[in-house]
Copies of this chain bind each other. A is one copy, B any other.
Amino acid sequence: MSSEPSLAGVGPFGGTSLAEVGARLRNREISAEELTEQALASAHLHNPSLNCFVTIDDEGALRAARQADRELEAGLDRGPLHGMPVGVKDMIATSGLRTTMGSRHFSDHVPVIDADVVTSLRQSGAVVLGKTQTHEFAYGPTSDRAATGPARNPHDTQRMTGGSSGGSGAAVAAGIVPVALGTDTGGSARVPAALCGTVGMRPTQGALPSRGAFPLSPTMDVVGPLAGSVADLAASWWALSAGSDLAGARLPRWKEWAARPPVEVAAVRIASVDSALTQRAGQRSRAAAGLALNALGQSGAASRVVGLPEIDQSARLYGLIQSGEAYAIHAQRVSEHPELFEPEVLERLTAASEVSGWEYVRALEERLKLRASVLERLTTTDILVMPTVPIEAPLVDQRELSGEGEWSGVREALLSMTLPWSLLGFPALSVPVPSTDSHLPDSVQLIAKPGQERLLMDVAAALESQLRAG
C-alpha cells in the first residue's frame, strides 16, 4: 500500500524532550516566545495535512509565552512545563478560547472558565497553543467524525489517528507540542497514543478534577495527558495532579517530586494478561507486547502470566453503562437539533437510547463485582502488560476489518483492549514499541492498580529506556 511521507517529529519538539528544551530556555538559548512562535508556525504549516488543531490561538499563546519569559527573568520558575506550548483537547474548556466538542452544536461556544486541569497547566507555566481535534463529543475512537473533519496520522496521513483525542495524538506525534491533554472514557487517550506513536495515560478514575471537561460517560470519564516520552508525561502528570496545592508550586517543588528515585523494576511484580480477549489481538500487537515483556525482563523484572477471564465481559458492560450515561447527556440535543450531529454519532446515540434502566443498573452491579474479582486476582501483581490496540492504524473512514480477531469492525477492535481498564477505573498507559516491519507505530499497554500512576510511569520509563537502548 502506498503511503504519504511521514510527518512524525517534524515540529520543534520532534526528537527532543521537555528537559532538553527547558535547559535551553533556562540558558537563555531560546525564549518561551521563540519556542511558541516555532510551535505556532509548525501548527499552521502542518494543520492542513494533519487537521490536529480546531483552533490555533496565536495571540493568547504569544501573550502567555511572554509572561513566562518575564517570570523566568524575574526568577519565577514554574517547573518543567514553564514556557512550553501545549495542546488542549477541544472537549476541555478554555476561558475565552472557543471550545467546540468537535460538534456543530458548539461551533461558536466560548467558555468563560478554564477547566480545572487547564488551570493546573497554566499554574505550571504551560502555554496553551490551541485546541486539538476530537471525535464529535468524544463519542468514537476513530477521530474521523467531527465538525472540522478527520484528524490524520502523522506517520501516514491516509490513516486515522485513533481517538477520540486524535488531535492531541497527532500534534504530539508531529512534535508540534511536547504534551497535549486528552480525555479517556474507553481508551480515548491511549488509543491515539498507540496509533500515533506517543505515550498516553488514563489516570485512576477520579484522580483528576473533571470540572470543565465535557462529559461523555461520567462514571468512566477522565482527563489524561499525551506526551512524546514517559518523562514528559510524568512532568505533565505532576502539573495536573499537584492540583490546588499548585498555587505555591515552583521549581523547587518539582525538583523535590522528581528527585524521588524511581521504583526498582526488579522489585515490581509484572504479569502479562491472558484472556480470550487478549488472544484476539493481532500478531503484530502480540509481538509488541512480547517485546515489551522481554525488555522489562532485561531490566530485571520477572514476569508471569495472569489469567483474567473477567475482562472478556468488559465490552458488554462498558456498552451498557456508556450508552445510558451518554444519552442522558445528549437527549435534549438529539430531540431538538438532530441535524447538527455527525450522522454516525447520531446513529450511535439513538442506539444508546435503547438501553434499559434495569440493564444499566445491573451493569453497574456487575462492574463492582468484576472489579473486586480482578483486584483479587492481582493480589500479588503490580503491573499488567497487554496490547493497547489489537490492530494497526486503519485508514481514515475505514469501518470494516477482515481476518484476525473477528472484530465486528474498526470501532470494536480499537477500544477492545483499553475499555476493560476504563470500566474498572484502573490507571493505564500506552508506550510506543519499536516497529520493525511497518511505517506505523507499535505499542504496548501497561496497567496498574488504582492510585499507582507513579509506579506505572516508573515501569514505563524503564521499559522505554530499555527499548531505546536495545
Contact = CB atoms under 8 A, between A and B. Distances in A.
Interface stretch (A70-78, A103-111, A128-136, A322-330): A322-330
Interface string A304-331: 0000000000000000100111111001
**Dominant secondary structure of chain A at its interface with chain B:** helix
B358 A355 contact: yes
A296 to B, nearest CB: 40
Contacts of A372: none
Interface residues of A, number: 20
Contact of A353 (B323, B328, B354, B356): B356
A358 B362 contact: no
Given A323-B358, A327-B356, 19 more contacts: A320-B357, A323-B357, A324-B356, A324-B357, A324-B360, A324-B361, A326-B358, A327-B357, A327-B358, A328-B357, A328-B362, A328-B365, A331-B358, A352-B357, A352-B358, A354-B356, A355-B356, A356-B357, A357-B357
A352 B361 CA distance: 13
A346 to B, nearest CB: 15
Contacts of A331: 358, 362
A212 B326 CA distance: 34
Interface in A353-379: 353-362, 365
Contacts of A326: 358
Interface in A386-424: none
Contacts of A356: 324, 327, 353-357
Contacts of A328: 357-359, 361-362, 365
Interface in A90-121: none
A327 B357 CA distance: 8
A324 B355 CA distance: 11
A323, A359, A365 pick with most chain B CB within 10 angstroms: A359
A359 B355 CA distance: 10
A320 B365 CA distance: 18
Interface in A200-234: none
A325 B325 CA distance: 16
A327 B355 CA distance: 13
23 contacts: A320-B357, A323-B357, A323-B358, A324-B357, A324-B358, A325-B358, A327-B356, A327-B361, A328-B357, A328-B359, A328-B361, A328-B365, A331-B358, A352-B357, A352-B358, A353-B356, A354-B356, A355-B356, A355-B357, A355-B358, A356-B356, A357-B357, A360-B360
Contacts of A359: 328, 357
A356 B325 CA distance: 11
Contacts of A361: 324-325, 327-328, 360
Contacts of A352: 357-358
A381 B325 CA distance: 35
Contacts of A360: 324, 357, 360-361
A324, A355, A357, A359 pick with most chain B CB within 10 angstroms: A357
Across the A-B interface, the 9 shortest Cβ-Cβ residue pairs: A324-B357, A327-B358, A357-B360, A328-B361, A355-B357, A328-B358, A328-B362, A324-B361, A324-B358
A327 B82 CA distance: 54
